[in-house]
Every structure is written in structure tokens, then in C-alpha cells.
């Protein structure tokens, strides 16, 4: 494949992911999108539950299996190595779009906060969660995570160096601040239906399992250094007095 084609593929995958990521904000909040987590045809709850869990599993399997070094080694025999991350990003977007389209509502209310000050506080924390997630992508390397760095180096004909282990800013307080941001936006909402709860609980389960696999790879890559970091820094929730500087 030509360098320009791979660069265009990388850029297209990035912008598609940006769109699906922005859609996720509206999907969860139920604001500003044609179909949110509580919209869609009403069906019997066992069917809705089965379909929704299947959609989360589809996203979780795609997102976790394709991120493993062993899978990447096999996969890069099929796709050019420079386009591997962009393909991951593209297929993650496809899995999310399928989830948005096929998601079935389960409208029974689990909680609905009435006090306006508390609603305001929860919406503020919801917004803060998105900010934490976005800033974390830049701390770890936004353009690498979304495949643009790889296609850019390939386009210029330069080597794309792999990242060292580091613990910038939020990474001194928690090991997975990007996931902390996601956990905030999944749970800190003033209104929660059963369907929304299934989404939040399913995605939380995926995050817990996904980060276990990620840490196994990080220990394989960085060894004792990562083990020491994991022993002193909490996974998702910052604890006063427990942080490390690298
Ligand atoms: C989607 S990012 C998520 C990072 C982290 N789990 C979080 O929630 O903030 C996953 C990538 O970040 C890398 N990564 C995670 N922690 C890292 C660290 N402290 N230093 C360097 N790379 C790291 C992993 O190897 C993986 O390629």
C-alpha cells in the first residue's frame, strides 16, 4: 500500500473514532443525539438484556483481543504494521456504532435525583470525567493511541520509536486515569434507567478485565519497574498519601 494511502487511512480512522467518541457523550447523557442509551424499540426485557450484553461483549472482545501483542504479531502479517493501530481504531469505532444502532432501551428507573444542586454536581462530575479521559489520552500520547503517530512516521519514512514507561501527572495518582474518567461518566449521572445501568455495569466489567490484561503486558514489557508502580499506586481511585513520582 502506498504511504499516502496509509496516511489517508490513518486520518480517516482517527476522524471516525473522534466522531464515535463524541457521540458516546450524547449517547450516555441522552442529549443531542438521535439515539441515546434510553431510546429505541421496546422489547421484552430478557431479549433487551441479551442483545445489550452481546453488544458490550462484542466491543470488549474486539477492544481487548486486538490490543494483545500476540494478536498484533499475527495481524501484522495481514495489515501493514504502520496501519495496525489505525485498523484497531477503525474496528473499535465500528463496534461502537453497532452498539449505538442495535442497543435496546430498558426504561425502568433505577434512580432519578431531584435536588437541583445534586443534579448540577453530578453533571459537573460527568463533564469532569470526560475531561479526565481526554487529558489522559494526551498524557499517554493521544496521537500514538489513535494511530496517527504511526502513519505519520511511515509517511515520512522515519522509524516510530516505542514509548518508554512513564507516569505523567494523573498517572502518579492512579494507574489508569483514562479508565477513571470513563468510570466517572458511566456512573455519575443524575438519572439511571435499567438499560443505562446494564451499559455502565457491562462497561465497568470490561474495564476491570481489560486493565488486568493490559497490566500483564505492561509487566512483560517493563518488569519490576511496573510491579513497583502497581504496588504503590492505586488502579482507578486515587488515595491520599499513595502516589509515586517517576
Ligand atoms: C488506552 S491506553 C490506556 C492507558 C491506561 N490504562 C489508562 O487508563 O490511563 C493503553 C496503552 O497505554 C499504555 N500504557 C499504560 N500505562 C502506561 C505507562 N504508565 N507508561 C507507558 N505506557 C502505558 C499501554 O501499554 C497501552 O498501550
Q: Are strands 109-112 and 191-193 parallel, antiparallel or unpaired?
A: antiparallel
CA distance 53 to 199: 8
**Angstrom distance (rounded) from CA 29 to CA 60:** 21
pLDDT in tens, 89-115: 999 999 999 999 999 999 999 999 999
Q: How far is the CA of 140 from the centre of ligand 1 (A)?
A: 6
Q: What percent of the chain has pLDDT over 90?
A: 76
Q: Which of 55-59, 83-87, 240-244 has the lowest mean pLDDT?
A: 240-244
> Contact at 8 Å (CB) between 53 and 198?
yes
Smallest CA separation from ligand 1 atom 13, residue: 140
Residue 51's SS3 state is: helix
Kindly tell me if the per-residue pLDDT of 242 is higher than 90.
no
The whole-model pTM stands at: 0.91
Q: How far apart are CA 245 and CA 41, in angstroms?
A: 50
Residues 166 and 110: their CA atoms lie apart, in Å, by: 40
For ligand 1, the distance from its centroid to the CA atom of residue 100, given in whole angstroms, is 26
Length of the chain in terms of residues written:
246
Q: Is the pLDDT of residue 243 over 90?
A: no
Q: Give the long-range contacts of residues 158-165, CB within 8 A, separation 24 or more.
A: 160/82, 165/218, 165/221, 165/222, 165/225, 165/226, 165/229, 165/246
Pocket test for ligand 1, best of 17, 145, 214 (most atoms within 8 A of CB): 214
Alpha helices in 30-140 (DSSP H): 45-65, 69-75, 84-102, 116-140
Helix 116-140 to helix 177-187 angle (10° resolution) is 160
What is the C-alpha to C-alpha distance for residues 231 and 20, in angstroms, rounded to an integer?
A: 35
Q: What is the CA(218)–ligand 1 centre distance, in A?
A: 8
3-state secondary structure of 173: coil
User: Which of 28-42, 63-77, 162-176: highest mean pLDDT?
Assistant: 28-42
Residue with CA closest to ligand 1 atom 8 = 176
Residue having the nearest C-alpha atom to atom 11 of ligand 1: 145
pLDDT category, 155, cuts 50, 70, 90?
confident
**Residue identifier of the C-alpha nearest atom 25 of ligand 1:** 218
- C-beta neighbour count of 9 within 10 angstroms: 20
Task: For 21-58, write each residue's pLDDT tens digit.
Answer: 999 999 999 999 999 999 999 999 999 999 999 999 99
- Choosing from 71, 72, 133, 140 the residue with most ligand 1 atoms within 8 A of its CB, the one to mutate for a pocket test is 140
pLDDT at 66 over 80: yes
CB 150 within 8 A of CB 10: yes
Among 94-98, 139-143, 162-166, 198-202, the range scoring the smallest mean pLDDT is 162-166
pLDDT band at 246 (very low <50, low <70, confident <90, very high): low
Residue 205 scores a pLDDT above 60: yes
Q: What is the ipTM of this complex?
A: 0.94
Distance from the CA of 214 to the center of ligand 1, in angstroms? 8
pLDDT for 1:
62
Is pLDDT at 120 greater than 70 in this prediction? yes
CA-closest residue to ligand 1 atom 7: 176
Check whether 119 has a pLDDT greater than 60: yes
pLDDT value at 240 more than 80: no
CB of 151 closer than 8 Å to CB of 10: yes
Is residue 245 over pLDDT 70? no
Amino acid at each position: 500500500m502506498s504511504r499516502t494511502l496509509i496516511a489517508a487511512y490513518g486520518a480517516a480512522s482517527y476522524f471516525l473514532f473522534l466522531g464515535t467518541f463524541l457521540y458516546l457523550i450524547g449517547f450516555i447523557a441522552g442529549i443531542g443525539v438521535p439515539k441515546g442509551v434510553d431510546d429505541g424499540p421496546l422489547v421484552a426485557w430478557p431479549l433487551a438484556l441479551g442483545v445489550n450484553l452481546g453488544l458490550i461483549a462484542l466491543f470488549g472482545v474486539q477492544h481487548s483481543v486486538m490490543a494483545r501483542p500476540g494478536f498484533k504479531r499475527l495481524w501484522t502479517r495481514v495489515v501493514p504494521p504502520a496501519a495496525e493501530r489505525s485498523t484497531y481504531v477503525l474496528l473499535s469505532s465500528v463496534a461502537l456504532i453497532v452498539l449505538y444502532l442495535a442497543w435496546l432501551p430498558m426504561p425502568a428507573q433505577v434512580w432519578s435525583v431531584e435536588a437541583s444542586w445534586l443534579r448540577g454536581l453530578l453533571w459537573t462530575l460527568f463533564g469532569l470525567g470526560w475531561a479526565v479521559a481526554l487529558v489522559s489520552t494526551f498524557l499517554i500520547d493521544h496521537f500514538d493511541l489513535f494511530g496517527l503517530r504511526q502513519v505519520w512516521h511511515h509517511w515520512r519514512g522515519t522509524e516510530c520509536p516505542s514509548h518508554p514507561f512513564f507516569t505523567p501527572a494523573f498517572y502518579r495518582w492512579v494507574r489508569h486515569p483514562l479508565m477513571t474518567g470513563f468510570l466517572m461518566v458511566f456512573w455519575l449521572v443524575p438519572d439511571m434507567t435499567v438499560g443505562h445501568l446494564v451499559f455502565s455495569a457491562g462497561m465497568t466489567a470490561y474495564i476491570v478485565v481489560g486493565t488486568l490484561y493490559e497490566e500483564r503486558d505492561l509487566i512483560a514489557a517493563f518488569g519490576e519497574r511496573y510491579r513497583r508502580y502497581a504496588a504503590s499506586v492505586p488502579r482507578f481511585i486515587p488515595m491520599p498519601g499513595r502516589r509515586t513520582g517517576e
